[in-house]
Chain A
Amino acid sequence: MHVNYWNEIKKDNLGRKGLYMIGFLAVIAVGAGLLAPHDPFAYVAPPLNPPSLSHPLGTNEVGQDVFSELLYGARTTLLIGSLAALFSTLLSLITGLLAGVLRGWVERVLLRLIDVMLVIPVFLVALLVAAYVQPGEVTLIVLLSLLLWPPGSRIVWAQVLSLRGQGHVAAARSFGAGQSYVAIRHLVPELYPLLAVNFIQVVRRAVFMEAGMAFLGVFDPSQKSWGLMLHYARDFMFTEAWTWWLLPPAVAISFTIIAFALVGYSLETALDPRLRRPVYAGD
């Protein structure tokens, strides 16, 4: 598992493109305040204005600047996506380690829980909860973290089992190292590449789920989010407004998901020795 995954992505054409795309998004998210020509919450012009010099993407149905909304939307999307992925990856790590290191009934209970949660349609559960508590950013991050950890946990568990059988871990144990010492010093560092892949994949899922929930209108309407923009723009989709109001957030969502998918795919390829094999002429 000793792969310099950073180099692997940069070497890979698709992965490099994905990284550039994520970098671009990050710049927009951080600099939204400077880049946006208007306050996205202010009513700056008559509603449904077509694009003009001062409003590059026109205005929405209440007269807010669509371009500024779009820039601030990147902030919401990346914030929710990355934090939900961070927390759910941490959950995966903790549960996977507990199951793999402690074994016994802890392992049985956790694995069963994971198997069961993999069967449940999580998005619909998220919607059910959201129907009761109109979620804002924080609630959504918590909700997504709690729903998205099981697949990663299973992978961590399997890897821990295989690592425990390896020489250096057995050696550390035989020198009298405790379970938690071995877990932190020997197991966790070897799990980093897997966790990185998991993180990227969960970001993708979280971005999709946030956009989907906002699109369905179960998201705090005072936030600026691409999904919410689509939600409102859909009522006007058969008017001229679709080109400047509906299309941009649709493209932005797809752009983000594709960016993370590209990086995730190239990481996965780098880590899977089966897929790494050189290409033969007759292949």
Chain B
Amino acid sequence: MRKRVGDYILALLIILLLNFLLPRLMPGDPITAMYGDAHVEMTPQMEAHLLERYGLDGPMGEQFVIYISNLFQGDLGYSFYFNAPVSEVLLGALPWTLLLVVISLFLAAVVGILWGAESAWRRGRRFDRASLVAVMLLNGIPGFVLGILLLLLLGFFWPVFPISGGASPYADYTGIARMADISRHLFLPALTLTLAQLPRNFLLMRSTLLAVKEKPYVFTARSKGLKERLIRYRHALRGALSPVITRLGMSVGLMFTAVLFVEIVFAYPGLGHLFYLALQYHDYPTIHGCLLIITVCVLVFNLAADLINQKIDPRLRQKDARQLLE
């Protein structure tokens, strides 16, 4: 466990280093590299202020110290495109992304695990084969293609859901009406993201359960004469859940990649959309901020998966028992 936390901290450091070094390794003056297109509109005073504030003409080591200390004070720089501090811009977008990710993660996990389990119990039969083919096809369609198709189908040709945004603009809904409005906007992005994540969970659950159902303890449960339902859902499923949840936690990084595309397709006002806008306008401080906050999210989710796992699998609670399982 302590090693895992160490990995997370190292990963964070690498991202920080990347964010720090990339703009500074670019040829040309540092302000252009840091602020991209916004440099053109800066006054000499602003330039001088930025140079001084971030120590951009000092030696690298000094710059890094300033960078890190700014970071710990929540100063991620200033976005000239949004005309606001980056931290503020990010905090405005974060809840939308978290809403989308948490809901889709949950749905994809529940559906994927149950479907995969059912398929594994019926291995080789028609249900299993059909499921496999369906999942393989679904797995091949990238999230943005899926999103565009769903958008055209359910937003345009048969317009049951709004095609963009996270809530109706200027509508001033309150209470339940606002929640309904947000849910309506959430539906298509969440559906896309869930469908994009589903295949991995399905395949993982299926192959894990295929291995688990041959285990001696399942045989024991069966020879005790337990009901089939009990064997399947209390004994086998629980044994197969632990690796699946670990991998689910590991896949959150991919989830944040997928959410980027989904948000762009549906113009959903989260971090992915923000990242895209920043990318288009070369708003580097915002790009770096997005990357940093997404990495932090991934790490937090990974850690959460590890903790949940310890709750579910008593074997993991013992110190260093992890290695035994691997």
Binding site for B on A (CB under 8 A): 14, 112, 115-125, 127-129, 131-132, 208, 211-212, 215-218, 230, 234, 237-238, 242, 246, 250, 253-255, 257-259, 261-262, 265, 274-275, 279, 283
The yes or no answer to B177 lying at the interface (CB within 8 A) is no
Closest approach, in angstroms, between the C-beta of A80 and any C-beta of chain B? 15
Q: Which of B142, B256, B288 contacts A254 (CB 8 A)?
A: B142
Closest chain A residue, CB of each to CB of B163: A238
Interface contact B26-A132, CB-CB below 8 Å: yes
Q: Given A127-B275, A215-B261, do A254 and B294 touch, yes or no (CB 8 Å)?
A: no
Q: Which residues of B have CB within 8 Å of A117?
A: 11
Which 3 pairs from chain A and chain B are nearest by CB? A258-B140, A279-B124, A123-B257
Nearest-neighbor residue (CB-CB) of B149 within chain A? A250
Whether A118 contacts B250 in the complex (CB less than 8 A), given A129-B22, A257-B140, comes out as yes
With A215-B261, A216-B276 already in contact, the answer to whether A115 and B7 are too (CB < 8 A) is yes
Please pick, from B7, B149, B250, the residue contacting A112 in the complex, using a CB distance under 8 A.
B7
Report which of B136, B210, B254, B287 forms a contact with A128, defined as CB distance below 8 A.
B287
* B298 at interface by CB-CB < 8 Å: yes
Nearest Cβ distance between residue B319 and chain A, in whole angstroms? 19
Pick from A131, A254, A261: contact of B282, CB under 8 Å: A131
Q: Evaluate contact between A211 and B123: CB separation under 8 angstroms.
A: no
Q: Report the bound CA distance from A275 to B14 in whole Å.
A: 38
Dominant SS among interface residues on chain A: helix
Which of chain B's residues has its CB closest to A274's CB? B211
- State which residues 238-268 of B face A: CB under 8 Å: 250, 253-254, 256-257, 260-261, 264
Partner pick for A275 among B142, B210, B299, CB 8 A cutoff: B210
A121 in contact with B22 given A257-B140, A274-B211 (CB within 8 Å): no
Closest to B250 in A: A118
| A127 and chain B: residue at smallest CB distance | B279
Bound CA–CA A127/B264 (angstroms): 14
Interface string of B96-110 (1 = CB under 8 A from A): 000000000000000
Q: A121-B257, A125-B18, A261-B136 are in contact. Are A116 and B10 (CB under 8 A)?
A: yes
Contact of A274 among B210, B260, B264, B284 (CB under 8 A): B210
Q: How many A-B residue pairs have CB under 8 A?
A: 124
B8 within 8 A of A: yes
Per-position binary interface string of chain B over residues 137-150, scored 1 when its CB falls under 8 Å from any chain A CB and 0 otherwise = 10111101100110
Selected from A119, A132, A216, A217, the residue in CB contact (under 8 A) with B298 is A119
B280 at the interface (CB under 8 A from A): yes
Q: Verify B276–A121 contact, CB threshold 8 A.
A: no
Distance between Cα atoms of A279 and B207 in the complex (Å):
14
Contact for B291 among A125, A254, A257, CB less than 8 A = A125
* A215–B262 alpha-carbon span in the complex (Å): 12
Does the CB pair B284–A254 fall under 8 Å?
no
B162 within 8 A of A: no
Least distance between A102 CB and chain B CB atoms (Å): 21
Task: Quote the shortest CB–CB distance from A100 to chain B (angstroms).
Answer: 16
Residues of B within 8 A of A217 (CB): 279-280
Residues of B within 8 A of A128 (CB): 18-19, 22, 287-288, 291
Residue of B nearest to A233 (CB): B148
User: Which of B7, B139, B276, B284 is in CB contact (< 8 Å) with A261?
Assistant: B139
Q: 1/0 contact trace for B144-174 toward A, CB 8 Å? A: 1100110110001000000000000000000
Nearest CB of chain A from residue B143's CB, rounded to whole Å: 8
| Min CB gap B117→A, angstroms | 14
In the assembly, what is the distance between CA of A257 and CA of B123, in Å?
25
Determine whether the beta carbon of A254 is less than 8 Å from that of B140. Answer: yes
Which listed residue (B15, B144, B156) contacts A120, Cβ 8 A? B15
